[in-house]
Structure 1
Amino acid sequence: MTTTNTQPPPTKVPAQPRTSIGKFLVQGGTTIALIALVLFFFAMRPDVFLSFTNVRNILFQVSILAIIAGAQTVVMVVGDFDLSLAATSSLAGAVAASLMLGGVPTPVAILVALVVGLLIGIANGLLVAYLNLTAFVATLATMTSVIGLAYLVTEGTTLFNLPGDFTTLGQGRFLNIPLPVYIAIAISVILWAVLRFTTTGRKWYAVGGNAEVSRLSGVNVRRGRLLAFAVAGLISAIGGILLAARLGSASAVQGSDNLLFSVAAVFLGMTVIKSGQANLVGTMVGVAIIGVLSNGLNIIGVNSYVQQVVTGLIIIAAVTLSSLKTRER
């Protein structure tokens, strides 16, 4: 006579993910840093920092950076990098200013400047996607050429006395908020929607995740990368045009700092989401950190050279956090 074991098999308890302070800081470090900076500068200057005037100033100061960082986000989503964005924005502003001073109507000058940015983006895309140059080398070469073109357009000087209907784009206000703030928000929302909800955005993320797998899945990788560079060039041109309108002048090196700041913003934003990918919402958080830090240091009277050191440390921290997030994937 045989007996059977009627005892039920032991129940497997699902493994609980371990949590740690370090993992929490890596996951939410960027957002925590932004909140900490706001609280710190508010504690230092409670009468000024969170006033409407100062918050408006912060938004105004970072509006152009937000546009350039949005352009950099698009390129980095597909796994590439664009060193020429700030130079492209400078050239676009210089082209628009030069044409207007030569008697060309403002709308036509702006349109030509936008086409210039688009063409530079297409050139970058062709070099990277179709000639298989690394993005770093291709855009470094493009940046050098574009800066030279900007000096030729401006003849090495700063262009002044721009038409009033043009400077209104950068200096005008609606509901006491500068127009560039609205434009930056609009561009950011459009980019977020494209990346989040469209087929193009999903293809860009697929290419950035694994280009070879995407190609085998039927995605036209080359065309996707070309389109990303073209969009980035166009958006950076918008930023350059707005910067020229805001300052009422244009030069060959105008807004050159936006390159490093945009890179830092994108890397900081990569830590906001679990996948560690470039994303528009995270980039805007990174832009906010840079804007709050710069404004706060100015308010408490920190030397501008010290601010440059702090900016460098921010970039190092951003890359480090992004690297740690990538290892977790």
Structure 2
Amino acid sequence: MTTAQSTPVKTATPSTTATPAARVQSAVIKYGFLFVTVALFLYFALSEGSFRESATLLDTLRYVSVAAILGLGVTLTLAVGGMDMSVGAVAGLGVSVAAQTMVVYNQIGTVAIVAVLAAGAVVGLLNALLIVVLKIPDMLATLGTLFIVQGLKLVLVDGQSITPGMTLDDGTTAPGKFTEGFLKIDRGTVLGVPISVLVFGGLTIAAWVFLARTRWGRVLYAIGANPEASRLAGIRVGAYRALAYVLSGVLASVGGLILASRIGQGDVSAGTSQLLEAVAVALVGTSVLGKGRPNVWGTALGAVLIGIITTGLTIKGLPYYTQDVVEGAVLILALVFSFTLSKRRTA
């Protein structure tokens, strides 16, 4: 008796070869933002000789260092699915605390640095309390903190900017001043590179290592992707979200230190414009290399792009208000890369 041998049934497998149009779209998503950055840089470099000077390029990085550092904090909170709207106010608070510490209380720069970093950590803890314990939505909680901090920094300085030699409420003259060492945070250089730029670079590398190369960073991304699944996996979601906001507060206070060193006085309006730029560079960063998620190098590149645009338009003599229009257009373009095109690719 013979038995029929069964032959394997061949099943059709879908072709994985991408069409030319799909490959082009994938390249646009992955490298489009890098292309825009390089193209703008080359345009300004070729059309304006002063833009190519090393001093101009370093000044550009120095200019964006504050927004970039604040953007790193926003990136951490975006990683856990939140958003810190208080970073600009915290930076401004840092300016007021630094001025109060050195000018009014006549303390050294080291004491001012510790006080500013502590103030940033406290605000971060307040945000964590509102969000993690009281369950207030991230954006609403940090928006409330923004107003509290803005009011607090005015209370600290009685609504006026603090300058060396000013007359205090009791009729006496402020005994202190911004120390030379403190002023070097932004005005000093190491091998020709501004210290603030080195701080920006160092914090960028540290944040990248933390988010991309440590378990804590991977957990933050996991929480942002699916907090409920993370909780069921045994992750202490609340603790990690609190960590993200505390770190964001500390980073914002570092930005405040640079601002205080830059302006050399306790300007009550300091930090007001930094929020929008910080959020912009963090959101722009999501489009870099088509990642579609918050990432440190993307945030850094977003800050560099904002700096290129601002410096280039300034050299060309365009009115300052045109910069906002261009920056807004770039942000929208980046969000198209991040969300619209990437969703079409995965559809």
Match of 1:95 among 90, 94, 97: 97
Query: Match of 2:156, as an amino acid?
Result: V
- Matched with 2:323 is 307
Match of 1:117 among 115, 120, 132: 120
Match of 1:39 among 31, 38, 42: 42
CA distance in 2: counterparts of 1:245 and 1:54, whole angstroms: 20
Match of 1:83 among 85, 100, 122: 85
Aligned length: 328
Find the residue that maps to 2:52 and give its secondary structure.
coil
In structure 2, stretches of 5+ residues that fail to align are 165-177
Inter-CA distance 41–155: structure 2 relative to 1 (3 Å threshold): same
- Matched with 1:185 is 201
- Matched with 1:256 is 272
In structure 1, stretches of 5+ residues that fail to align are none
CA distance in 2: counterparts of 1:280 and 1:167, whole angstroms: 27
CA contact (8 A) 1:44 1:300 kept: no
Asked if 1:209 is matched to 2:225, the reply is yes
Asked if 1:158 is matched to 2:186, the reply is no
CA-CA distance at 1:66 after TM superposition: 1.5
- Matched with 1:239 is 255
CA contact (8 A) 1:90 1:240 kept: yes
CA-CA distance at 1:4 after TM superposition: 5.7
Asked if 1:24 is matched to 2:24, the reply is no
Match of 1:199 among 179, 193, 215: 215
User: CA RMSD, aligned part only?
Assistant: 2.0
Inter-CA distance 5–227: structure 2 relative to 1 (3 Å threshold): closer
Inter-CA distance 2–303: structure 2 relative to 1 (3 Å threshold): same
Query: Match of 1:211, as an amino acid?
Result: P
CA contact (8 A) 2:162 2:267 kept: yes
CA contact (8 A) 2:31 2:290 kept: no
Deviation string, structure 1 residues 49-68 (Cα, Å, up to 9, x no partner): 12211111111111112211
Find the residue that maps to 2:269 and give its secondary structure.
coil
Asked if 1:174 is matched to 2:175, the reply is no
CA contact (8 A) 2:82 2:138 kept: yes
CA contact (8 A) 1:276 1:322 kept: yes
CA contact (8 A) 1:268 1:321 kept: no
CA-CA distance at 1:10 after TM superposition: 6.9
- Matched with 1:50 is 52
CA distance in 2: counterparts of 1:308 and 1:100, whole angstroms: 35
Asked if 1:15 is matched to 2:16, the reply is yes
Inter-CA distance 264–325: structure 2 relative to 1 (3 Å threshold): farther
Inter-CA distance 254–16: structure 2 relative to 1 (3 Å threshold): same
Identity of aligned residues (%): 30
CA-CA distance at 1:20 after TM superposition: 4.5
Q: Which region of structure 1 is more displaced relative to structure 2, 149-158 or 129-138?
A: 149-158
Match of 1:322 among 304, 320, 338: 338
Deviating 4+ runs (over 6 angstroms) = 5-8
TM-score for both structures, normalised by structure 2: 0.89
Query: Match of 1:318, as an amino acid?
Result: A
CA distance in 2: counterparts of 1:290 and 1:118, whole angstroms: 28
Counterparts of 1:281-296 in structure 2, within 5 Å, are 281-296=297-312
CA-CA distance at 1:90 after TM superposition: 0.6
CA-CA distance at 1:148 after TM superposition: 0.6
CA contact (8 A) 2:220 2:240 kept: yes
CA contact (8 A) 1:117 1:234 kept: yes
Inter-CA distance 6–78: structure 2 relative to 1 (3 Å threshold): closer
Inter-CA distance 160–44: structure 2 relative to 1 (3 Å threshold): same
Find the residue that maps to 2:234 and give its secondary structure.
coil
Q: Which region of structure 1 is more displaced relative to structure 2, 276-285 or 262-271?
A: 262-271
Deviation string, structure 1 residues 77-116 (Cα, Å, up to 9, x no partner): 1110011001001101211111111212221122111111
